[in-house]
């Protein structure tokens, strides 16, 4: 059971204050009757709630897989830029957030949910969850780079070193512009870009393909998303 104002706010209808106003204005029906009290207790599975004539179905958790496009930021809200949460037009919950951050110019797999415990499990450095990236690099990527990344590189400064954990670098194509796959188990700020900087190379395109057991669905074009399957959720 949950209070009507919380039910509506959780589903993103408005803030607690706003939904109280909507209730006063008679815009909220519970089981086809105008609701008068914000503190009315609602049985999430049984009672039927509507706002301005549209059903509001309660969802405890939502899980979306997105292929994040470039130009959109990994945040819940932003004054200037569009965020990944803005892109989910049919969300029910008002408290969704991206699990980890991809840079504005990075594409690829992003999990968007309101399940804080799952996010913690996936992001905690202690859990060693793989994050696999595909990238194009300016410069010839070499076996020395593979070795350096396996041993860890300094992505900080001489005075304030910041060493990375062992990472797996796979060279797909080594040329003036190289193509690689890199698997890391941490998520330091701009980590992939700074790792290549540490070996004097520049990332010119970056896409995340996998996080733990979750693999980016190839059918999702940049900007598209879908609900996680039960199987994907179970395996996470
Ligand atoms: N590493 C980066 O440098 N950028 C990202 O967006 C993700 C990992």
In this predicted model, what pLDDT tens digit does every residue of 108-144 receive, in sequence order? Answer: 999 999 999 999 999 988 889 999 999 999 999 999 9
162-193 pLDDT, tens per residue?
999 999 999 999 999 999 999 999 989 999 99
Amino acid 124: pLDDT: 86
Q: How confident is the model at residue 93 (pLDDT cuts 50, 70, 90)?
A: confident
Report the chain's mean pLDDT, rounded to a whole number.
95
Kindly give the distance from the C-alpha atom of residue 213 to the centroid of ligand 1, in angstroms, as a whole number: 19
Q: Is the CB of 102 under 6 A from ligand 1?
A: yes
Q: How confident is the model at residue 92 (pLDDT cuts 50, 70, 90)?
A: confident
Amino acid 45: pLDDT: 87
Amino acid 210: pLDDT: 98
Q: Is the CB of 206 under 6 A from ligand 1?
A: yes
Q: How confident is the model at residue 90 (pLDDT cuts 50, 70, 90)?
A: confident
> Region 41-59: what's the mean pLDDT?
93
Catalytic annotation, pick one of 52, 103, 105, 145 = 103
| Other CB atoms within 10 Å distance of the CB of residue 11 | 20
Amino acid 59: pLDDT: 85
Looking at the CA of residue 187, tell me the nearest atom of ligand 1: 8
Amino acid 12: pLDDT: 84
Amino acid 11: pLDDT: 87
* Calpha distance 49→7 (Å, rounded): 9
Looking at the CA of residue 194, tell me the nearest atom of ligand 1: 3
SS3 75: coil
Of all helices (H) and strands (E), which one includes residue 144?
helix 143-151
Angle formed at CA 162 by CA 132 and CA 144, multiple of 5 degrees:
60
Amino acid 126: pLDDT: 84
Q: Is the CB of 188 under 6 A from ligand 1?
A: no
> In the structure encoding, which two tokens stand for residue 182, read together?
């890199």
Looking at the CA of residue 103, tell me the nearest atom of ligand 1: 6
Q: Whose CA is nearest to atom 2 of ligand 1?
A: 190
Kindly give the distance from the C-alpha atom of residue 191 to the centroid of ligand 1, in angstroms, as a whole number: 5
> In the structure encoding, which two tokens stand for residue 97, read together?
């957030």
Active-site residue, 105 included: no
Pocket test for ligand 1, best of 75, 186, 190 (most atoms within 8 A of CB): 190
Q: Whose CA is nearest to atom 3 of ligand 1?
A: 190
């Amino acid at each position: 059971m949950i209070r009507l104002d919380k039910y509506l706010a959780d589903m993103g209808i408005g803030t607690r204050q706003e939904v109280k106003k909507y209730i006063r204005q008679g815009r909220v029906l519970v089981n086809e009757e105008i609701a008068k009290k914000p503190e009315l207790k609602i049985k999430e599975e049984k009672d039927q709630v509507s706002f301005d004539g549209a059903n509001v179905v309660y969802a405890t958790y939502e899980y979306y897989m997105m292929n994040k496009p470039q130009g959109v930021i990994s945040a819940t809200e932003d004054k200037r830029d569009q965020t990944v949460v803005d892109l989910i037009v049919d969300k029910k919950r008002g408290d969704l957030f991206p699990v980890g951050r991809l840079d504005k110019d990075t594409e690829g797999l992003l999990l968007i949910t309101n399940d804080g415990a799952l996010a913690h499990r996936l992001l905690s450095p202690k859990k060693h969850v793989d994050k696999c990236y595909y990238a194009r690099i300016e410069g010839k990527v070499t076996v020395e780079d593979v070795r350096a990344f396996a041993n860890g590189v300094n992505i900080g400064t001489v005075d304030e070193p910041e060493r990375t954990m062992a990472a797996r670098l796979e060279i797909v194509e080594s040329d003036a512009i190289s193509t690689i796959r890199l698997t890391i188990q941490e998520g330091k700020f701009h980590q992939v870009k700074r790792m290549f900087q540490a070996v004097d190379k520049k990332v010119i395109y970056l896409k995340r393909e996998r996080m733990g057991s979750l693999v980016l669905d190839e059918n999702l074009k940049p900007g598209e998303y879908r609900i996680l399957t039960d199987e994907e959720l179970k395996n996470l």
